[in-house]
Amino acid sequence: MRGFGSTMGLYEPGRGFLYRTPLPVKAAASLGCAGIVLAWRSPFVTAVALVLTVGALVVGARLSPVRILRMLLPAAPVLVVLALYQGWLQGWTVAFGVSGGIVACLLAARALTLTTPTQDILDGVARLARPFRVVGAQPERFALALSVMLRSIPYLAGLFVDVREAAKARGLERNPRVAVTPLVIGAVAYAHRTGEALTARGLGDHDDGDDEEDPAPAPGM
C-alpha cells in the first residue's frame, strides 16, 4: 500500500502551509482553479493560475521545481501534442492558454492529494455526500465503497502482472483474451470474498449496519 501510494502521487508527509490549510479550503481552491481556467481560457488568466499553483507547491509544500516537472511527466505526451497542434493552427497564445490551463488544474489537484492524508479526503467526501441522504443516498456506504476500491487497486495490479507473466510463459502474451480473462474472473472472486468479509463484520449492509432489520448475512455467493 505504502509504495503504491507514493508512486501514485498520493499523500506524502512534509511541512509547509499547504499541510496546515484545512481540506475544504484546498478543495475549493482546486475546484475554483479548474472553473476559472475553463470559463476564461485567456493566456493572462492561465499565467496567473500557473504562477499561483506552482508558487503554492514550492512555498506551501516545499517541493523543488524538478519534482513539479516530474509530476507532470505522465500527462506530458498529450499536452505536447495538444500544444503543438493549437500553436500551429491557432497561434501560440491560444496554445498556451489551453495547455497551460490544464497544467495549472493538474497541479492544483496534485497539491491537494499530496498534502492531505488519503483517509481525510475520503472522510471529506463522505461529509460532502451527507446532504444527499435526503434523496436516499448513504454517505457511509459511499465512503466504504471508495476505500474498498482504493484497497483493491494494488491487489488487481499485482494480479494483472501475475496473469501476464503466466501468459508469457505459455507464449501467449500477445493474446489479450488470455491476458485479461483471468484478471476479471479474479476480480469477481475477490469482490465476493470482500463482500463476505464485510458481511462478517456487519459492514456494508443496508442501513449503515446499525439497524437490526436484516441480521442474517446474505447467503454467500
Q: Kindly tell me which residue out of 51, 69, 78, 84 binds other proteins, with binding defined by CB under 8 A.
A: 78
Give the angle 186-157-12 at the CA atoms, nearest 5°: 140
The residue within the footprint of other proteins, chosen from 90, 91, 120, 165 (CB under 8 A), is: 90
Nearest distance, CB of residue 10 and other proteins, angstroms = 7
In the complex, minimum distance from the CB of residue 4 to other proteins, in angstroms, rounded to a whole number: 10
Tell which residue, 101, 129, 172, 121, has the closest CA to residue 8: 121
Q: Does 101 bind other proteins (CB under 8 A)?
A: yes
Place of cell 497551460: 100
Measured from the CB atom, the residue of 18 and 121 that comes closer to other proteins is 121
- Looking at residue 217, the DSSP 8-state letter turns out to be P
CB closer to other proteins out of 64 and 207: 207
- What H or E segment, with its residue span, contains residue 200? helix 176-200
Residues in 9-28 that interact with other proteins by CB under 8 A = 9-10, 27
- Encoded one letter per residue, x for contact with other proteins by CB under 8 A and - for no contact, window 149-188 reads xxxxx-xxx--x---x--------xx-xx-xxx-xxx-xx
CA-to-CA distance for 152 and 144, rounded, in angstroms?
A: 12
- Please state, as a whole number, how many other Cβ atoms lie within 10 Å of the Cβ of residue 27: 17
Length of the chain, please? 221
Q: Which stretch binds other proteins (CB under 8 A): 13-21, 60-68, 94-102?
A: 94-102
